[in-house]
Chain A
């Protein structure tokens, strides 16, 4: 009996695995077509539920903004999420730069560096990709 159950379990697992890889493949195809994987957002593209965020979603949002995320981007995105966790708010440009100076280093703590990575409104764009609300104290 136990063996039968174990076998059955194995079957189910392999089925699930197949399904999983199928879905992964579909997802990949889908994202190449439209990048439809982004969970619900507001009209400006900010996630409605912070808990919907993961690195995959970040990639999708970045892609929809025509951006390719590099290690340098991830460093800022993760630090931004840390800022939000600590202070429960999305920072405007200056506090973000100051926070980067405290935690990453002088080289990165420059608005020009952030603009090179995230474009003209780095605080807004980085918040969007990091799955945080739009910085309220920012035009």
Chain B
């Protein structure tokens, strides 16, 4: 059973939700917690390649996400249907993710002691 599941549900820019969620993931991992991530809803846009957050004067999270493996965060899931409805494909993302079906979501949540929604 993993310790923490962090769910990313907001678009990458406009707010700092994406960054806050990622910060929490890194803090958790730095303190030895086993952290998993799930991207769903508009959160899958955080995984898009070639984002240009500077256009709206924001610092993106793309580079930071590349550091996840340095923090031993390797269980990264992306919700299939969320990708489909946004015309995105699992093999065209910024980082390697395991696609997960709607049916499998409750099981994933149950595998974690704590779930954080961002």
Contacts and interface: CB of A to CB of B under 8 A. Distances in A.
**Does more than half of chain B's interface fall in helix, strand or loop, or is it mixed?**
helix
9 contacts: A86-B63, A87-B64, A87-B66, A88-B63, A89-B63, A92-B26, A92-B30, A94-B71, A138-B30
A83 B70 CA distance: 10
Interface string A80-124: 000100111101111100110000000000000000000000000
Contact of B70 (A88, A98, A138): A98
Interface string B50-66: 00000000010001101
Contacts of B63: 86-89
Interface residues of A, number: 15
B23 to A, nearest CB: 6
A95 B67 CA distance: 8
B30 A89 contact: no
Interface in A67-87: 83, 86-87
A137 interface: yes
Given A88-B59, A94-B29, 4 more contacts: A95-B67, A95-B70, A136-B26, A138-B30
Interface of A: 83, 86-89, 91-95, 98-99, 136-138
Interface residues of B, number: 13
Contacts of B64: 87-89
Contacts of B59: 88
A87 B30 contact: no
A98 B69 CA distance: 9
A86 B23 contact: no
B72 A137 contact: no
Contacts of B23: 136-137
A94 B66 contact: no
